[in-house]
Amino acid sequence: MTFLTSHLSFPSSSTSGALPPPKTHVVLSDTLNSPAQFVLYHLISAALGKAGNVRRKVVWVDMRGEGRASLEAVMKKIGTPLPPSTSSQFIHIAPSSLPLCISVPAQTPRIFDAHGKATLRNVYDTLSSHVADECLVILDGLTVMANMGVLQEEIAKFVRATYAKVRLAGGILVSTLHTDSLPLPLSIYSPAEDIELLERVLRVGKGVWWRIQHLGSGRSGDVMGEISSHPFGGMTASAQDDGKEDMPFVPRSKPLQYRLETSTVKVFAKGTGRGFL
């Protein structure tokens, strides 16, 4: 089940608008009060659910440590069960932050090298071996890597190298990170590490930035957060000859709003979902 297609579609895509065109970089930022896992569920469901008669391989680099079992339960509930763990169609990579003196399962990439330095080289080597034609690669939790001591320059280099690999395969890259320091409407902008990391990631490739944020006035049962969409890297939202757009554009001044429900997500234009805060 996909939640966002009718509101954030990609007309030039071959997957019924649920996924962006090949070689696209989707940057997904959220806040602790409005996590964006539901957007990942949407993208994974589109990739695995034969959207537009195209079934894609998914490589999920789980830097947040959510675990396959958690994702498996959610995807089953929304009607797109994950392939068996033995299947090569869905790859779950969970980088380990444990020191070398503690053993980890085979094929598990480590974040810290023999000298205790945080690096993403091992993570890249592992994920790059799984990249296939037209695959969907998800770097889930870049902020967690920064919190563990990986330098922002290293993270940006890692994202850039991954994008280059995915681009050659005609795939799609999704990068997620927390940006709680991004100002809400009427807030004063002040530089912070999470914003600096976002700016670095937005310099990688071409694509669209989906910003998920909580409401400045609070949260209710009717409205749980807002979504805006911003093309970057030379991608535009201008009308083409067929009257369609390259990338969905939803300005921050007129965001979509959403409400999480038992087995779905309701998305609606601001002010139309009974939530008036």
Q: Please state which of the ranges 45-54, 110-119, 142-151, 171-180 shows the lowest mean pLDDT.
A: 45-54
164: left (phi over 0), alpha (psi -120 to 50) or beta: alpha
The answer on pLDDT for 5 being more than 80 is: no
Q: Please state which of the ranges 106-115, 156-165, 175-184, 198-207 shows the lowest mean pLDDT.
A: 175-184
d(CA 18, CA 16): 6
Residues whose CB is less than 8 angstroms from the CB of residue 73 and which lie 6 or more positions away in sequence, other chains included: none
**Predicted local confidence at residue 194, as pLDDT:** 85
**Predicted local confidence at residue 183, as pLDDT:** 63
**Predicted local confidence at residue 221, as pLDDT:** 64
Domains of the chain: 25-216+232-262 (3.40.50)
Q: What is the pLDDT of residues 102-141, one digit of tens each?
A: 999 988 999 999 888 999 999 999 999 999 999 999 999 9
The answer on pLDDT for 147 being more than 60 is: yes
Q: Please state which of the ranges 25-34, 46-55, 132-141, 260-269 shows the lowest mean pLDDT.
A: 46-55
d(CA 275, CA 258): 10
**In this prediction, what percent of the chain has a pLDDT beyond 70?**
83
Q: What is the pLDDT of residues 59-95, one digit of tens each?
A: 999 999 999 999 999 999 888 999 999 999 999 999 9
**Predicted local confidence at residue 50, as pLDDT:** 59
> Element (H or E) spanning 178, and its range?
strand 172-178
The answer on pLDDT for 241 being more than 80 is: no
Q: Is 133 exposed, middle or buried (0-12, 13-18, 19+ CB in 10 A)?
A: exposed
**Predicted local confidence at residue 244, as pLDDT:** 46
